[in-house]
Amino acid sequence: MKVELDKTFEFHIDNVSFGDIPTKLLHDLFKDGRFASKPIEVQLSIWFPELKWVKGCKDHDHIDTSGRLFEARGFTKNGSYLYPSRMRGGSRVISESGYKQKAGRVTYAICDINDFPNVRVRFIEGSKAREIFGREIKFKDRERFFGGQYE
């Protein structure tokens, strides 16, 4: 499959297993972005072969064959934040200039994992996402985002 901006791709992940953990429990675990983030990052490079997963990089998750940078973001029951992970959490501070700089140079791969094992993926330029949604895409905007009604 080829990356296309502002298009929603739908996938069904049939085989999920880890040791003796029941499949239903794994499905519930994969609805949590903390659990699903790394496997989904790797899976994106399989669904979209032009994306190369950049293991361990703190700046971005993928790079394509033309050098474009991609940041994978989970869309969970809390929506999806668009600012850098290092700015998220307890006493951390969101640097508006740092966020704008990052959004200006990445394409987001927003991965809706709420209905796992069904996964939706939508690519959007970072600057466009920032302009339309600000710092985050709220859960209430889920269908608006994945349905493309933000254009």
Which pLDDT score is estimated for 92? 46
Answer yes or no: is 18 within a domain.
yes
First to last CA, the chain: 23
d(CA 103, CA 129): 8
Note down the domain range covering 31. Answer: 8-141
CA distance 28 to 35: 10
SS3 call for 136: strand
Contact yes or no for 117/105 (Cβ under 8 A):
no
Per residue of the chain (151 residues), give pLDDT as tens: 999 999 999 999 989 999 999 999 999 999 999 999 999 999 999 999 999 999 888 788 899 999 999 999 999 999 998 876 654 544 445 556 655 666 667 999 999 999 999 999 999 999 999 999 988 999 999 999 999 998 7
32 in a domain, yes or no?
A: yes
How many domains does the chain fold into? 1
Domain membership of residue 3 (yes or no) is no
Q: What is the pLDDT of residue 82?
A: 87
Domain-embedded: residue 149: no
DSSP characters over 65-122: TT--EEEEEEEBTTBEE-S-GGG-STT----HHHHHHHHTTEEEEEEE-TTTTEEEEE
Residue 53 located in a structural domain: yes
Residue 150 confidence (pLDDT)? 81
> Which CATH number belongs to the domain containing residue 64 in this structure?
3.40.210
